Structure 1
Amino acid sequence: MLQEVFITCAVTGAGDTAGKHPDLPVAPEQIAQASVDAAKAGAAIAHVHVRDPDTSAGARAPELFAETVDRIRSADTDVVLNLTTGMGGDFYWNPDDPYKAGPGSDLAHAAERVQHVLQLKPEICSFDIATMNFFDSAFISTPDLLVEMGELIKSVGTKPELECFDLGQVRLANHLIDQGVIDSPALFQICLGVPWGAPADTESMLAMRNLLTADAIWSGF
């Protein structure tokens, strides 16, 4: 496994955090500037989400990604771009009609989830290997959808960062590697402490690390 340390800075995320800090980047120019500032401070990778400039809510509009990426690429930095593909899998239970997704759900097919990656061809994109309870909702990425997304991502030469929140997701990621959907050496991100995945402790990180392929490149939080 790779022993060198590299720092990734996630400058805004997609959570409901816009009202919690006055300087949270929201508009594309703010997100781009935060990414450039992080790179100049020592970050090797900028993990980029975008937000609706009017509502500050997390968004997946390709034009917002395009403006943000264009601004970063035109700046004086060699930061590696890691664009999220985590939007489009949010399901909220509808107590009034269990056969329909509830308010706040955002479900999209594979091509929609990676549209901005196919257009912008970043060096890396996040790839959530997860169907799981996630805070008060569920996040859905079924194995067949992951295969389709993985093949689309591979077609433009972007490296998927396999985000795993629990042990079973590492197993599924390894299966995708065995199938040839993901090229080796695979890039893993071990994600701990997110409700309701693995807890943020040493034992969980070691258990997940020990399931990784021998040539894996990995980081964690």
Structure 2
Amino acid sequence: MSDKVIISCAVTGSVHTPTMSPHLAITPEQIAEQAIEAAEAGAAILHLHARDPADGRPTPDPKVFDRFVPRIKAATDAVINITTGGSTRMTLAERLAYPLQAAPEMCSLNMGSMNFTIHPVARKITNWQHGWEKPYVEGMEDLIFRNTFADIKHILQVLGRERGTRFEFECYDMGHLYTLAHFRDEGLIDGPIFLQCIFGILGGLGADPENLVAMRTTADRLFGRDGYRFSVLGAGRHQMPLLTMAAVMGGNVRVGLEDSLYLGKGQLASSCAEQVRKIRRILDELSLEVATPAEARTLLALKGADAVNF
């Protein structure tokens, strides 16, 4: 089982806007439907954000999360992973509002403050569906995604220690691995570590194969090959090539319309499940087995779906 590949699916995120794809899940119903379909296609972990159903802007409102998270739990046994990143415009209290209420098995946790932007994309779009979209995308150029040491410590304490939540540690740069090792050394993180290495975001590591190898070997030095589970997220057009490379290297993979809106060159993905099915075909061709949700829970030492508050 230790050799099985965990497929994560990030359903909607907070980066892409409705104008960028008609297939992006916006309403609670759409988020639930895409998440359930992705789980049926083979995703063991569902990484979830919420959006205002009126216009698609990211929202931290627990009432919106409550409209789709319980429905997903009732329809699938996939691990539900709630973001603590929210969006670059949310306060830490807003980002934690639903995770603290829900006490999920897993949450994402960004391991450092950083420039995080897709503002060049705005130059390619002339007609926006909603008035908030253009300033939202262009405004990323002058924002910092805040994740201070104090912020990270707080999340590890109130979610990890107090609620038994484990984490998808999102690392966008080499220094984030050392930050993760610092908190491990401080005794705030127990193994196994689920390490999500992210490539291709402007402000983070580029999507070069050499960077993937460097992150893997650095993680080996810091945590030991048996001390962590390695996963890869490739943004945009880098998604499938980097995930294939990660799988060959013994890693796990993450897909979903949060990370890439496309299935192939010039072809928008019609759903998150379509991406799940594609990476699963690739894994099958590599003779790699896909982990079930139950197996993912065992590999990551999760507390179980019966120990959450939704």
Tell me which interval the TM-score lies in, with the shorter structure as reference length.
0.7 to 0.9
Aligned to 1:123: 105
AA in 2 matched with 1:200: A
Aligned to 1:96: none
- The whole-number CA distance in structure 2 between the counterparts of 1:176 and 1:65 is 29
- The whole-number CA distance in structure 2 between the counterparts of 1:18 and 1:160 is 28
* Number of equivalences: 202
Aligned to 1:103: none
SS at match of 2:66: helix
Cα offset, 1:114, TM superposition? 1.9
Aligned to 1:95: none
The answer on whether the counterparts of 1:153 and 1:160 sit within 8 Å (CA) in structure 2 is no
SS at match of 2:71: helix
Q: 1:159 aligns with which of 157, 166, 184?
A: 166
AA in 1 matched with 2:159: I
SS at match of 2:68: helix
Aligned to 1:10: 10
Please identify which structure carries the higher helix content: 2
User: Structure 2 vs 1, CA of residues 120 and 163 (structure 1 numbering), >3 Å: closer, same or farther?
Assistant: same
Structure 1 unmatched runs, 5+: 91-105
* Superposition TM-score, scaled by structure 1 size: 0.86
User: Structure 2 vs 1, CA of residues 107 and 50 (structure 1 numbering), >3 Å: closer, same or farther?
Assistant: closer
Structure 2 unmatched runs, 5+: 118-140, 234-310
Higher relative contact order (CA 8 A, sep 6+): 2
- The whole-number CA distance in structure 1 between the counterparts of 2:82 and 2:7 is 15
Aligned to 1:42: 42
Q: Does 1:211 align with 2:218?
A: yes
The answer on whether the counterparts of 1:177 and 1:183 sit within 8 Å (CA) in structure 2 is yes
Cα offset, 1:36, TM superposition? 0.3
AA in 1 matched with 2:7: I
AA in 2 matched with 1:219: S
Cα offset, 1:23, TM superposition? 2.4
Cα offset, 1:107, TM superposition? 4.3
Aligned to 1:108: 91
The answer on whether the counterparts of 2:12 and 2:49 sit within 8 Å (CA) in structure 1 is yes
AA in 1 matched with 2:38: A
Q: Does 1:195 align with 2:194?
A: no
The answer on whether the counterparts of 2:73 and 2:80 sit within 8 Å (CA) in structure 1 is no
Q: 1:173 aligns with which of 171, 177, 180?
A: 180
- The whole-number CA distance in structure 1 between the counterparts of 2:58 and 2:90 is 14
Cα offset, 1:121, TM superposition? 2.0
Q: Does 1:182 align with 2:189?
A: yes
AA in 1 matched with 2:82: L
Alignment RMSD? 1.4
SS at match of 2:206: coil
Aligned to 2:78: 79
Q: Map Cα deviations across residues 176-212 of structure 1 (whole Å, 9 max, x no partner).
A: 1111122212111000010110011221111112222
